[in-house]
């Protein structure tokens, strides 16, 4: 007996994503739907000043599933997700949230949806893979960070970049700077499981300079400190034990990465120190400065 497909809405949160949005919406429109039945693709534009809205409207004109929500003010990603939640159809079971600076593989939505065949699952996370070339120290560090994220998430799921969750979640606290982690607290608080889905590959672009990388990691760590204080919750990558264990296993398999790992550790320590300073000063980066190096277009390497 064939199982019923899972009714899915895809939310795309964007701010000045003209370089990547057309490719992303094209990928979502063509995505495999063996498991998922995509009922909606909701684009939420927050304060965009480039051609982002025009691109989204062109897609809405040719694909009835595409809806466009325009907020002329940039008020943070959590607010954009709340606008997405308010637009979900009543028959949608699962919401997939993807940033406009990402590019999922064609089978990624199906892979995420399949996790919810298990009624214990409340949230599922994709497998982010950078599309940056591996030339240069910072690109090597970016690849290494996401490889460690994969190792940690395979044991202790950490949701990042592209996530799926049951559509009946409450609105997010608009102050949070770490929306995926906030959604983790909802699932865990309901007694539901987090599920990491390695086959749900989504490509991103990491920072290209040390300053960009530190700024990104600084913001995220400050957000995680705020989450720990307000929700009494720590993501799995917050814990030093998880990071050290993953780094050790990586070095055993790939000892040539030792210099890049040392640089990654130094940058992470500096970013965490700055993030702690921001947190203690009461600075919550709800709206953050966009990092140009992460803005696409994305040209991933062919899958092996």
Strands (E), the chain: 6-14, 36-46, 66-71, 94-99, 103-104, 121-130, 162-166, 193-204
Is the predicted pLDDT of residue 129 greater than 80, yes or no? yes
- Collapsing DSSP to helix, strand or coil, 1 comes out as coil
At residue 191, what are phi and psi to the nearest 5 degrees? 80, 20
pLDDT digits (tens, 9 = 90+) for 89-125: 999 999 999 999 999 999 999 999 999 999 999 999 9
pLDDT digits (tens, 9 = 90+) for 18-72: 999 999 999 999 999 999 999 999 999 999 999 999 999 999 999 999 999 999 9
Instruction: Give residue 236's Cα distance to chain centre.
Output: 15
Q: Which domains are assigned to the chain? A: 6-285 (3.90.550.10)
Residue 230 burial by Cβ neighbours in a 10 Å radius (0-12, 13-18, 19+): middle
Q: Which residues lie closer than 8 Å to 86 by C-beta, 6 or more apart?
A: none
286 vs 184, which has greater pLDDT? 184
Mean pLDDT of 251-259: 94
- Alpha helices by DSSP H, 36-89: 52-62, 77-87
Residue 27 burial by Cβ neighbours in a 10 Å radius (0-12, 13-18, 19+): buried
Nearest CA among 296, 111, 139, 109 for reference residue 204: 296
**What pLDDT shows up at residue 303?**
61
Is the predicted pLDDT of residue 228 greater than 70, yes or no? yes
Is the predicted pLDDT of residue 302 greater than 90, yes or no? no
Mean pLDDT of 61-88: 97
The sheet carrying 162-166 orders its strands as 66-71, 36-46, 6-14, 94-99, 162-166, 121-130, 193-204, 103-104
Nearest CA among 172, 154, 41, 56 for reference residue 98: 41
CB 29 within 8 A of CB 18: no
């Amino acid at each position: 007996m064939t199982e019923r497909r899972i009714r899915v809405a895809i939310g795309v949160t964007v701010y000045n994503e003209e370089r990547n949005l057309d490719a992303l919406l094209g990928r979502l429109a063509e995505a495999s739907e063996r498991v998922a039945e995509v009922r909606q693709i909701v684009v939420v534009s927050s304060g965009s000043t480039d051609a982002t809205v025009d691109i989204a409207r062109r897609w809405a004109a040719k694909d009835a599933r595409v809806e466009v929500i325009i907020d002329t003010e940039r008020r943070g990603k959590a607010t954009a997700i709340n606008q997405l939640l308010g637009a979900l159809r009543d028959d949608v079971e699962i919401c997939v949230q993807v940033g406009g600076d990402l590019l999922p593989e064609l089978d990624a939505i199906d892979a995420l949806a399949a996790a919810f065949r298990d009624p214990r699952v409340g949230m599922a996370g994709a497998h982010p893979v950078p599309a940056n070339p591996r030339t240069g120290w910072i690109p090597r560090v970016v690849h290494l960070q996401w490889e460690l994220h994969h190792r940690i998430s395979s044991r202790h799921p950490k949701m990042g970049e592209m996530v799926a969750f049951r559509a009946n979640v409450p609105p997010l606290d608009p102050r949070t700077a770490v929306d995926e982690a906030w959604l983790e607290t909802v699932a865990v608080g309901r007694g539901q499981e987090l599920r990491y889905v390695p086959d749900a590959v989504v490509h991103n672009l990491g920072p290209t300079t040390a300053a960009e990388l530190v700024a990104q990691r600084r913001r995220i760590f400050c957000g995680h400190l705020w989450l720990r204080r307000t929700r009494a919750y720590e993501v799995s990558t917050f814990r030093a034990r998880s990071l050290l264990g993953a780094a050790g296993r990586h070095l055993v398999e790939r000892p040539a990465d030792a210099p890049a790992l040392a640089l990654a550790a130094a940058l992470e320590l500096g970013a965490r120190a700055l993030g702690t300073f921001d947190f203690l000063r009461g600075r919550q980066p709800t709206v953050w400065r966009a990092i140009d190096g992460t803005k696409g277009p994305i040209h991933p390497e062919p899958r092996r």
